[in-house]
Amino acid sequence: MDKILRINMGPDGAPSVKEEGLGDYAGLGGRGMTSSVIGKEVPADSHPLGAENKLVISPGLLSGTAAAMSGRISVGCKSPLTGTIKESNAGGQAAQVMARLGYAAIILEGKPKADTLYKLIINKDGVKLEEDNSLKLLNNYELVDKLKEAYGEKITCMTIGSAGERKLGSATIAVTDMEVRPTRHCGRGGTGAVMGAKGLKAIIFDDSGMKMRAPKDPEAFKAANKRFVEGLRKHPVTGEGLPAYGTNVLTNVLSEAGGYPTNNFSKGTFEGASKISGEAQAELETQRGGSATHGCHRGCIIRCSGTFNDKNGRFLTKQPEYETVWAHGGNCGIDDLDAIAMMDRLDDDYGLDTIEMGASVAVAMDAGIAKFGDAEAAINLVKEVGKGTELGRILGSGAAVTGRVFGVERIPVVKGQAMPAYDPRAVQGIGVTYATSTMGADHTAGYAVATNILKVGGDVDPLKPEGQVELSRNLQVATAAVDATGMCLFIAFAVLDQPDTFQALIDMLNAFYGLEMTADDVSELGKKILKEEREFNKRAGFTAEHDRLPRFFITEPVAPHNVTFQVSDKELDNLFNW
């Protein structure tokens, strides 16, 4: 990965495409690359949908190599949902393919004057940017099928559905999986809206004829990768729980812990949890000829995804993730896996963040637009977004907008982004992460659930404020570094518990690049990324007052523990004091 592809979409004359060297961005990948480019090149006070914003796409430092679990792609921009800096990453094939084609980043800038859609084709022979208005308002499944007809079955795509073209705040960028289906998404923060604002409908990659990236020290790299894989396979979470039941293995766990937000965060347990649990989902998938175990990209060994078939045994969607099952399930009072899977399919097709969309539906239910537990009504609300109706545009703009429009008091967002599937009153560590993340409420920014609930990497009482800030701080630093490597975040379970697995990851980086990094260097990388992100947000007008949870988490106790969020503002303000 020795080059950057810079594409100016306008407005002066025809769009331009040029390749350039890495320059100041040498040695960066993934979130490290995207946040650095946005921090250096985008005015913090620019409009997220304007010409000054940029969309940066970057594979991780180890993407395109033989390293296991290295297939995450990062997309960065100024978020139209939050107004903050944003990095959203996904699995699928794009990171591996883009890296093997030699690109450390694609930078989209400018904005076309004309209402014209473009597609970008990248292969070993070069790069083409072509007009294609026949793609207008196509949703992701039909769009990808059309692209396969034109470019063959071996392509990898990054696309936006109708939500992205309509520039909705919850719009995603879809990434195709190993079966060339648009099932993996850069979901959070409205990245799809920025791609839509740039007039780019699809990126088509084809790495036919390209070799895998070669390490500087092949033998050391191979040995480190072997140790890394062994570590993942022997850990009970990455070697047993996730492969057997997927991420949805957490549904029963969180409901039993009283931290499962139900009916728009009004209580912490869901009576129907067992009906939509990972165990029930895996059994149903297997019965219908689907699969409870599947990798989202080549090189995945955890294989926490799956295949969900409908009642007639036909493919409907990939296995809905835990966050999706919660967002469209317990959060809306729905205990029907088929209804949840249908909403997952619609979200993927239109190009919508399942967390944000589920949160918007739940807020609408709180407003009386539909009743909690009404699955048919929930599906129809999602379909409104696909139709582009006035109601659909409100819902597709996110939970914060939905709550303001319909006069709801309980709006579970931070910096405009909806909270995922953990109640911060019952899981206090994740509440700290929600409040202080540089990108709005985001469980992946510092997954304190691992230690609060699963007791991975230690044991910090989830119901008490003590130790939560330090826990979240350390996890946010580590996560930023992992996001730069292209590694799946789920490696963290094994890395936190097994020092040798962490060392194996460092050894892989060193062997590949000829470096002598230490654990301290990895920590410094994470801190550097977070510092860049916070500096951008400060220039954009964000202060310590924005690092807060909504007031109702402090004033309303949640059952069954009847606790409130107890970490003080003073403690939150000290999180980034290394």
Say how far apart CA 13 and CA 320 lie, in whole Å: 44
Residues 324 and 405 in one domain: yes
Q: For residue 89, give the H/E element and its range.
A: strand 85-90
Encode pLDDT of 250-294 as tens digits. 999 999 999 999 999 999 999 999 999 999 999 999 999 998 888
User: Is the separation of the CB atoms in 209 and 283 below 8 Å?
Assistant: no
- Which tops the pLDDT comparison, 316 or 294? 316
Closest C-alpha among 396, 517, 472 to residue 81 = 396
Clarify whether residues 191 and 258 are in a common domain.
Answer: no
| Res. 489 pLDDT band, cuts 50 70 90 | confident
**Residue 146's domain spans which residues?**
3-205
Give the model's confidence band at 305: pLDDT under 50 very low, under 70 low, under 90 confident, else very high.
confident
Adjacent-strand bridge partners of 171: 352
Do 75 and 179 belong to one domain?
yes
Please state, in angstroms and rounded to a whole number, the distance separating the CA atoms of residues 197 and 176: 21
**Residues 395-434 pLDDT 10s:** 999 999 999 999 999 999 999 999 999 999 999 999 999 9
Instruction: Give pLDDT tens digits for 543-564.
Output: 999 999 999 999 999 999 999 9
Same domain, 174 and 253: no
CATH number of the domain that residue 52 is part of: 3.60.9.10
- Domain end among 369, 395, 421: 421
Q: Residues 252, 196: one domain?
A: no
Residue 17 and residue 108 in one domain: yes
Find out whether 515 and 216 touch, Cβ atoms under 8 Å: no
**Has residue 578 got a pLDDT over 90?**
no
Tell whether 196 and 252 lie within a shared domain: no
Are 200 and 275 within one domain?
A: no
DSSP conformation class of 186? E
Of 109-113, 138-142, 407-411, least confident by mean pLDDT is: 109-113
13 pLDDT exceeds 80? no
Calculate Rg over the CA atoms of the chain: 22
Residue 97 lies in a domain: yes
Q: What is the pLDDT of residue 300?
A: 86
pLDDT category at 134 given cuts 50, 70, 90 is very high
Residue 201 lies in a domain: yes
pLDDT of residue 240: 86
Asked, for residue 368, whether it belongs to a domain, the answer is yes
152 inside domain: yes
Ordered strands of the 118-123 beta sheet: 126-131, 118-123, 200-205, 156-159, 173-175, 184-186
Say how many domains are in the chain: 2
Of 52, 19, 44, 24, which is closest to residue 36 (Cα–Cα)? 24
CATH number at residue 293: 1.10.569.10
Confidence of residue 340 (pLDDT cuts 50, 70, 90): very high
Task: Quote the pLDDT of residue 355.
Answer: 98
- Pair (190, 315) in one structural domain: no
- Give residue for tokens 């980034």: 576
What pLDDT is stored for residue 244 in this prediction? 84
Domain boundary among 397, 421, 445: 421
Last residue of a domain, one of 421, 441, 472: 421
**Residues with Cβ within 8 Å of residue 474, at least 6 apart in sequence:** none
Predicted local distance difference test score (pLDDT) of residue 292: 82
303 versus 474: which is more confidently predicted?
Answer: 474
Tell me what the mean pLDDT of segment 492-521 comes to: 94
DSSP, res 269: -
Rounded to an integer, what distance in angstroms lies between the CA atom of residue 246 and that of residue 260? 17
Backbone φ and ψ for 376, nearest 5 degrees, come out as -65, -40
Tell whether the model's pLDDT for residue 296 goes beyond 90. Answer: no
Element (H, E) at 344: helix 337-350
Q: Which of 147, 138, 144, 154 is nearest to 183 (CA)?
A: 144
Mean per-residue pLDDT, 379-395: 98
Q: Record the pTM.
A: 0.96
Residue 21: inside a domain, yes or no? yes
Q: Is residue 429 one of the residues assigned to a domain? A: no
Task: Specify the 3-state DSSP secondary structure of 292.
Answer: strand
**Nearest-angstrom CA–CA distance, 55 and 78:** 8
Mean pLDDT over all residues of the chain?
96
Please name every residue paired with 105 in a beta bridge, in sequence order, or none if there are none.
Answer: 4
Average pLDDT over residues 162-183: 97
What type of residue is 251?
Answer: T
Cβ within 8 Å of residue 222, ≥6 positions away:
66
Confidence at residue 277, expressed as pLDDT on a 0 to 100 scale: 96
Q: Other C-beta atoms within 10 Å of 409: how many?
A: 10
Residues 31 and 121 in one domain: yes
Q: Where are the beta strands (DSSP E) in 276-411?
A: 291-294, 305-309, 315-318
Are residues 381 and 266 both part of a single domain?
A: yes
Question: pLDDT for 198-240, tens place per residue?
Answer: 999 999 999 999 999 999 999 999 999 999 999 999 999 898 8
Does some domain include residue 475? no
Q: Is 483 within a domain?
A: no
pLDDT higher at 492 or 327: 327
The per-residue DSSP string of 46-80 comes to: S-TTSTT--EEEEE-TTTTSS-TT---EEEEEE-T
Same domain, 32 and 156: yes
